[in-house]
Homo-oligomer: A and B are copies of this chain.
Amino acid sequence: MTIRLQTGGSACLYEQIYEHIKKEIREGKLLAGERLPSTRFLAEYLQVSRSTVDYAYSQLLAEGYIESRPYRGYFVCSMEELVGMEDLGRSAVGSQIHGRDDTERAGGGQYYDIRQLGDRKQPGDRYDGTVKDGEWMEPVVSERASTDQPHVRCDFSPYDIDMSGFPFSVWKKITKNILTYANSDLFSRGQAQGDYELRVTISRYLHSSRGVNCSPEQIIVGAGNDYLLMLLEKILGRHVRIAMENPTYLRSYRIFQSFAYDIVTVDMDEYGMRVEPLERKKVQAAYVMPSHQFPTGVVMPIRRRLELLRWAAGAPDRYLIEDDYDSEFRFRGKPIPALQASDELGKVIYLGSFSKSIAPAIRVSFMVLPEPLLQVYKRDCAFYSCTVSRIDQSILNEFIRDGYFERHLNKMRKIYRAKHDLMLEELLPFQKRFTVSGENAGLHLLLTAREQMSEEELVCRAEEQGVKVYGLSAGMRMTETKAATVLLGFGGLAPEQITEGIRRLKTAWEIGTEK
Closest Cβ of chain B to A464, distance in Å, is 27
Instruction: Give chain B residues whose Cβ lies under 8 Å from the Cβ of A238.
Output: 238, 260
**A184, closest chain B residue (CB):** B163
Q: CB-defined interface of A355-394 with B at 8 Å, one 1/0 digit per residue?
A: 1000111110000000000000010111111111111100
A254-B389 in contact (CB<8A): no
A141-B385 in contact (CB<8A): no
A138-B385 in contact (CB<8A): yes
With contacts A361-B390, A388-B363 taken as known, whether A143 is within 8 angstroms of B176 at the C-beta atoms is no
Instruction: Return the contact of A184 from the options B164, B226, B227, B381 (Cβ within 8 A).
Output: B164
**Cα–Cα, bound, A217→B143 (Å):** 9
Instruction: Give chain B residues whose Cβ lies under 8 Å from the Cβ of A164.
Output: 184
Stretch in contact with the other chain, from A61-69, A189-197, A265-273: A189-197
Instruction: Return the contact of A382 from the options B140, B180, B387 (Cβ within 8 A).
Output: B140
**Cα–Cα, bound, A145→B350 (Å):** 28
A255-B383 in contact (CB<8A): yes
**Cα–Cα, bound, A380→B168 (Å):** 36
**Cα–Cα, bound, A171→B163 (Å):** 25
B387-A143 in contact (CB<8A): no
Number of copies: 2
Instruction: Return the contact of A251 from the options B133, B217, B254, B383 (Cβ within 8 A).
Output: B383
**A176, closest chain B residue (CB):** B176
Instruction: Give chain B residues whose Cβ lies under 8 Å from the Cβ of A172.
Output: 176, 179-180
Instruction: Return the contact of A175 from the options B138, B175, B362, B390 (Cβ within 8 A).
Output: B175
Instruction: Return the contact of A362 from the options B142, B187, B230, B360 (Cβ within 8 A).
Output: B187
Instruction: Give chain B residues whose Cβ lies under 8 Å from the Cβ of A260.
Output: 238
With contacts A163-B187, A176-B176, A361-B391 taken as known, whether A192 is within 8 angstroms of B224 at the C-beta atoms is no
**A163, closest chain B residue (CB):** B184
Closest Cβ of chain B to A204, distance in Å, is 18
Instruction: Give chain B residues whose Cβ lies under 8 Å from the Cβ of A176.
Output: 172, 175-176
Instruction: Give chain B residues whose Cβ lies under 8 Å from the Cβ of A387.
Output: 223-224, 226-227, 363, 387
Instruction: Return the contact of A186 from the options B134, B187, B255, B361 (Cβ within 8 A).
Output: B361
Closest Cβ of chain B to A199, distance in Å, is 11
Closest Cβ of chain B to A182, distance in Å, is 7
Those of A153-204 within 8 Å (CB) of chain B: 163-164, 166, 168, 171-172, 175-176, 179-180, 182, 184, 186-192, 196
B192-A360 in contact (CB<8A): no
**Cα–Cα, bound, A404→B254 (Å):** 40
Instruction: Give chain B residues whose Cβ lies under 8 Å from the Cβ of A411.
Output: none
**A254, closest chain B residue (CB):** B383
Instruction: Give chain B residues whose Cβ lies under 8 Å from the Cβ of A171.
Output: 179
**Cα–Cα, bound, A390→B378 (Å):** 30
**Cα–Cα, bound, A355→B390 (Å):** 13
B382-A141 in contact (CB<8A): yes
**A166, closest chain B residue (CB):** B187
The 8 closest A-B pairs by CB, nearest first: A163-B184, A223-B387, A187-B359, A189-B360, A187-B361, A361-B390, A172-B179, A363-B389
Ordered by A's residue number, 18 sampled pairs between the chains whose C-beta atoms are within 8 Å are A133-B188, A134-B189, A135-B385, A138-B189, A138-B192, A141-B378, A142-B191, A143-B217, A175-B179, A188-B361, A189-B360, A223-B363, A226-B387, A238-B238, A238-B260, A363-B386, A363-B388, A392-B392
Which A residues have a C-beta under 8 Å from some C-beta of B? 133-135, 138, 140-143, 163-164, 166, 168, 171-172, 175-176, 179-180, 182, 184, 186-192, 196, 217, 223-224, 226-227, 230, 234, 238, 251, 254-255, 258, 260, 355, 359-363, 378, 380-392
In addition to A175-B175, A187-B359, A392-B392, 7 A-B residue pairs with Cβ atoms within 8 Å of each other are A138-B385, A142-B192, A143-B217, A186-B361, A187-B361, A255-B383, A387-B387
